[in-house]
Amino acid sequence: MNSFDTGMSLPRFLQFIDLAYLVEGTRLTNEQFDKMMLEAADDDRKRNINATRQNIMRSIFISSFSILEQNLDEIVQMKSKAAPVDIKPNDLKDRGIQRSITYATKVLNIEVDPNGWTHKLIS
């Protein structure tokens, strides 16, 4: 398989920095909530802390998923421009990560293992 230039654009590079901040922020947030749980005097306070933690973790998950989705889409879009096919990723009915995986496997003939994420999208 021929390699292709994925030239990391500045916005994509900044997304990876954002992802690193999310990871570090998650760690610090968990540490802070653990301390708050130890100091919480009653069950209502503990429930409020846990509810807040769940909301923050949900937001972190959605942000991380969005970064992954955008980067997979950008890579597949770049690969489709270099491929000698008339079908573009936007022509598929799937959306998001599933569209990128479907396009890579069915149109570009790239093996993708979404269960283990050991794929050769860039080679």
> Residue 94 belongs to what H/E stretch?
none
Q: How would you class 40 by CB atoms within 10 Å of its CB: exposed for 0-12, middle for 13-18, buried for 19 or more?
A: middle
Q: Dump pLDDT digits (tens) for 34-73.
A: 999 999 889 998 999 999 999 998 998 898 888 888 888 8
The residue type found at 73 is D
**SS3 assignment for 7-69:** CCCHHHHHHHHHHHHHHHHHHHHHHHHHHHHHHCCCHHHHHHHHHHHHHHHHHHHHHHHHHHH
Angle, helices 10-39 vs 43-82, to 10°: value is 170
> Residue 97 belongs to what H/E stretch?
helix 96-102
CA dist., res. 44 & res. 27, Å (int): 24
The share of the chain scoring above pLDDT 90, in percent, equals 13
**Domain definitions of the chain by residue range:** 10-82
Tokens of 54: 């769940």
Is the confidence at residue 106, as pLDDT, over 60? yes
- Average pLDDT of every residue of the chain: 79
